[in-house]
Structure 1
Amino acid sequence: MKNILTLQPINKIQGSIFLPGSKSISNRVLLLSALAKGSTKLINLLNSDDINHMLNALKKLGINFVLSHNKKECLIMGNDGIFKPKKKIKLFLGNAGTVIRPLTALLSLNEKCDIILTGEPRMKERPIKHLVDSLKNGGAVIEYLEKKNYPPIHIKGGFKGNKFIKINGSISSQFLTSLLMISPLIKGNTVINIYNNLVSKPYIDITIKLMKVFGIYVENNNYKQFKIYGQQNYISPGEYIIEGDASSASYFLSAAAIKGGTVRLENINKNSIQGDIKYINILKSMGAIINYGKNYISCTKNTLKSINMDLNDIPDVAMTLAVTSLFAKGITTIKNIYNWRVKETDRLQAMSNELKKTGAKIITGNDYIIIFPPKYINKVIIETYNDHRIAMCFSLLSLSNNSVSIINPNCTSKTYPNFFKEFKKISFYN
């Protein structure tokens, strides 16, 4: 029997939320801390499935760490260089792209290793070809174990690096992030050339900023070419505080914009290093009232109007916008989001299917979605496709005058296990 959560119609949204740590930052700093010289104390680490997959992988690869009882603080003893596992290892990495892609690059730096990376069925449908091709061109021996160009993969090491590395930027920024993170550890200097348009550029900014925290400088030439000196060491900053997750912030901000009251989000500010912080500007341009201070952002309801935007840089919050647009006046167009198709599910197809249930008219193309909001939002049952972001963004339908039922609500454990508990905290009913 399917697990279903029904959210009753909410009359008003009001309150304060302390945001959990960013997933994108958490998994990057875990890996950088493990590679660094010295010990690093990470504060406000996200406690979720994707982070647990990284921690489990690091443990199996011989990295020592101490995790606090609430799993929000982690002291990592750095390895001062690449991991050198002596035995055959099989790592199950769920559906965590922020784990499998960087580890593929990192483990290929071994002269010789015997490691299999695998995951959930959806992971086996998520492409890894462009990253693997770049690594193979530098000498890595990597074999596909099932379907060509997709996990599971068998890594045997051997990547010596190339002075010039080419990578296709059009599918996932995580491929480039993976190459950037290993480049300082290669003997020679590295130049990474991007062909095709680089998607999700703000995630590359996160990678470069965090590498700098650990002592490594990356030269970024307009997202077309990146230069990194080789034979460097990551150096622990001693302590690093992880800011709140800007993607998770989008659901609460939208809830306030639709049916506030005011929602105040602690542990994040407008100078966040995450690209998804741009969502506050999107809501502002739609009519919401946004305020911010030293370590908070707040949003207050106002009449929302539609928007027409290219959201290639911030595809995750584009999903929140799609559902929010059901409550706006006019037709909303979200463009340049082809990479929705290669995420946790084919998000373009999934969002179209579920938005139509509300009574909205939806038009989709290869890389865009157009949303004509309905006069009245139907009572619906949302299929989540085991995709955490679909579960979270469609919770906003409870702000209509109808309940919404979410199939498999526990899929939010990928990035935000307590989401529905936190959402309830700011929800007031008739």
Structure 2
Amino acid sequence: MSPVLGCVADDYTGGTDVAAAFRRSGLRTVLLFGPPRAGTVVPDSDAVVVALKTRSVPAGEAVTASRAVQDWLTGQGVRRLYFKYCSTFDSTDHGNIGPVADALAEAAGARLTVVCPASPEHGRTAYQGHLFVGDRLLSDSPMRHHPLTPMTDPDLVRVLARQTPNEVALVPLQTVERGPDAVRSALEELAASGVRHAVTDAVTDDHLDTVARAAAHLPVITGAAGLARAAAALAATALGPAGGTALGPAGGTAGGPGRTSGAPDGMPVLPAGPAVVLAGSCSAATLEQVAMAREHMPAHRLTAHGDGLAEALGWLETHLAHEDRVMIYSSAPPGQRDSGAAASLEAALAAVAARAAELGAGRIVVAGGETSGAVVNALGVSGAVVGAEADRGVPWLHPTGRETRPALLLKSGNFGRPDLLVRATETP
């Protein structure tokens, strides 16, 4: 049976996040990194997630890559597409959310698509078209200092309107609270009036369920992992018991490092070997996690000056020989960052990851979407089985194709509890 749901994600941690949401909802899910290669064979599954690295590239490149994946997914039999971006709507006035959503909708023949970055379980809510992070407007959150995509405007309609020539309008919370029929009627009215993008308010998971039901007829919908979870739950219900469990089975714990040794459902176990944390995100959540991790394991700060990479590699080789967990990080608060060095730091952390794998690391934990993309590419990982979640939306990944690869935990910068890096590196 062909997959019922396909997803294009704009970064690697976003792909793992939405794959975990699909899997948690009961869909057998395959996760691929980068554009699928010629001859790629997808196992029997209900959903396929393709994680790209397009969030910060030029808009034209993002459109081309996303459309190629859409065509590939269509060739796999997928008839419904989810475009996944960050719950903080990371983008600039040039894109890439608007241009990619336009291209995907046009290719699918969709007059209208839904735009819903809300993810209440992660503290992302939308009210009156404004995006909140916790109890603060997006523009008052640490995202205003993001080095690549500083978010200084919380008005989603206004932000998106600067990225697309098509009409953008709001489906307000009052309509959402009246239920799926009311929202669907609103969507139909907007489509008839020429609106292409319908931004939908949502402050609870029930609101996301309502939006998912109302938009079930649309061939392309867009959002963060919250709406993805709701859409997947609908798909799993439609499939019924024959849909089976996920690849590997849904579940896992959020309280420990994620090991499920001896579980009868066949959940992959974490391999032996030391754990290495590589942190490149400068988000407030990651900075807090890095600070706590420094209290529990040897840590080295990577800088872009001088022989920073050589120093980091030497430090890694020395400490990994007698430590069961270590951390190398470039994360730093505003005012302490290596200005203009983000790309070189990501490349350096990726080189450290490759060396850690050669030295026998059993787990590599990565903090930051751009850093995760660089690490996955450096390790040559093209696909993975989605394992247990160490925190909500942060699953362990067990790369396919080569048994010697370490397990990966790819963490979006803003995700996870303060002790995530500590728990993820504890001895199973």
- Normalising by the smaller structure, the TM-score range is under 0.3
TM-score by length of 2: 0.26
What TM-score, normalized to structure 1?
A: 0.26
- Pair member with larger Rg: 1
